[in-house]
Structure 1
């Protein structure tokens, strides 16, 4: 992009109040308000995926973005008032592709996918809007007021998930924001600061800031905070042993474990794992799941069956899990008929995969939790 010099003029209507204001502060009588910018943003000189225009309010971020990226700025999407958000995605997209895209930007709550846009929280609306922008604008996407309407925890974690998705899809994304706290999380390839007309490439990729999890053993009543975000039913077994991961003292993810009393090969089984929407997209749920597995595996086999596409994909690549059953629809026994014959019921076509934990064991931590 070459060096740009442009002027923005706004007509001033000289009302009685405007005339009074001019007199109070000694302002010259003008027909137009005039703003001028000189922009040097050489983004065509190198390959990139993520850019950031950042600065305080009034420095010209939006005006510069509109001048430099006239046709790529994302506006307000039209969403169905009654239909699910997934029905607003392009018709040519299959449901698996939509689910993968939503999960990749950190919106991994299938129950929330069923709701219309207006029924989502601000954080959920932010992420689903980013997913739709990537779906409808496969080239360059420019988002003004990026992360402005959400709290800073959601903004930082969401920035990390979105940037990761952009790079994976080979797209280009420019965030326009007044918040400097997203820089480390968005990890842009370049930054432009309109207030000083400073442009700089960031030649080395940086790892996102570390997230410290505090994992505590909790009563199963803690499930009430997470249950509505689980993709299956919202029940939990009374025998479940439950754990919560805290981020800065806030509940972020939940895992429950039950004992599976098989005659030949008794084991422990992951019963429920949920990460709250505000913390999705950076692997907190998977980290908690694997940590709990490493505790219970000190005693017996630890298994898990999941139907969540993102979790199946992550575990299929992980060295800590071995797939014991490929993704498939399975049948299960549901009891005996009166005549003594077994009654078989299918899983309603739901695709699940089975896994065995084969990663490191944490015996010291397992003892601290009283598990051995």
Structure 2
């Protein structure tokens, strides 16, 4: 594909304009010309990137390829209602989770009140959900923190490839290329075109630490539920380059028949990087091998209401789904049961609390591990 760009504007002859021409030996600033050869007509690609410094012609190249994707967002609706409003609810939540915007409270806010990073991911989620055959995205990742930009780019790339469409991303940042793993890249600074998946996503080295609840205040604002801390739980925190990125608490069911994991939180800037499932599986696998304070191998039970996490657990062969409820149990009966148990143990039952009483759909999964799945 041959792309010819010819821009022209007025050639001003004001005093300052004339002085600039004289000082820097520039005859005119009225013309901009660029000829580009993009061998992408064969259609055998999914993701392409035009990268280079500002003013080097990226937007002009994108305009020749197609209109830039710039959806309008309603100011009186939350993000969850603005994405594919006539489509499937699970498709919208799946797209949000797929690009790393997994913080559920964010879904309930209008687009204009979101942070730059949240707006960036929300727009990508909408693009993934709408899934056009061809899309051009200008200023890709230009206005967000570089960590969010890189992880968000990687999350978008994985989600976009599943749509089967073609997207050209225009960006002035080179640090996203390895995360995107594009099929081709054109660099407007050097004029060089490269193709063939020459980029590879960096491997994240994650360390897991066993601790108590001291790190929970850091993660709690990003958890989609507000519940008391689990009784007699041990907490685990995952770090990357010394930075806390994920949290999980693990306790046991009566009789030590199995473990129960809860309070899984991945920090927003790391959502979409695959950290959550990798962390959860690593902790549950350790308990499956008996690496816990009881020295006893146990399977792990895990419940979630998050549709994106539930879908990920169903796709993972190490997990099996064991339950699905549309609402919680009767809270009053649960309170009575807790009070009776406390009374039998000779404890004060006046402040017994009940669990349940909600209308939140909850899905249960059990971690079986590699050995059981392979047998």
Matched residue, 1:155 = 149
Matched residue, 1:210 = 203
Matched residue, 1:178 = 172
Matched residue, 1:285 = 276
**CA separation of 1:347 and 1:50: change in aligned 2, threshold 3 A:** farther
Of residues 330, 340, 365, the one that matches 1:355 is 365
**Aligned pairs (5 A) from 1:56-205:** 56-69=53-66, 71=67, 73-75=68-70, 77-80=72-75, 83-136=77-130, 138-202=132-196, 204=197
Question: TM-score, normalised to structure 2's length?
Answer: 0.85
Tell whether the 8 Å contact from 1:244 to 1:253 is kept in structure 2 after alignment. Answer: yes
Tell whether the 8 Å contact from 1:111 to 1:228 is kept in structure 2 after alignment. Answer: no
Per-residue CA deviation, residues 8-54 of structure 1 (Å, 9 max, x unaligned), is: 112133222112222333433x4x61111111112121322111001
Distance 1:115 1:244 in 2: 29
- What number of residue pairs does the alignment pair up? 348
SS in 2 for 1:14: coil
- Quick check: which one's strand share is greater? 1
Asked if residue 260 in structure 1 is aligned to residue 256 in structure 2, the reply is: no
Matched residue, 1:368 = none
Asked if residue 271 in structure 1 is aligned to residue 262 in structure 2, the reply is: yes
Per-residue CA deviation, residues 161-215 of structure 1 (Å, 9 max, x unaligned), is: 101111112122111112111111101111112233332321x586522111111
Question: TM-score, normalised to structure 1's length?
Answer: 0.85
**CA separation of 1:215 and 1:61: change in aligned 2, threshold 3 A:** same
Asked if residue 219 in structure 1 is aligned to residue 212 in structure 2, the reply is: yes
* Structure 2: segments with no counterpart, 5+ residues: 291-295, 341-353
Q: Cα offset for 1:261?
A: 1.6
**Aligned alpha-carbon RMSD (Å):** 2.5
Asked if residue 43 in structure 1 is aligned to residue 44 in structure 2, the reply is: no
Tell whether the 8 Å contact from 1:331 to 1:347 is kept in structure 2 after alignment. Answer: yes
Distance 1:38 1:327 in 2: 60
Q: Cα offset for 1:237?
A: 2.7
Distance 1:167 1:206 in 2: 16
Distance 2:110 2:272 in 1: 21
Q: Cα offset for 1:327?
A: 6.2
SS in 1 for 2:205: coil
Distance 2:167 2:228 in 1: 40
* Structure 1: segments with no counterpart, 5+ residues: 362-372
Farther-moved stretch of structure 1 (207-216 vs 346-355): 346-355
**CA separation of 1:59 and 1:234: change in aligned 2, threshold 3 A:** farther
Matched residue, 1:311 = 309
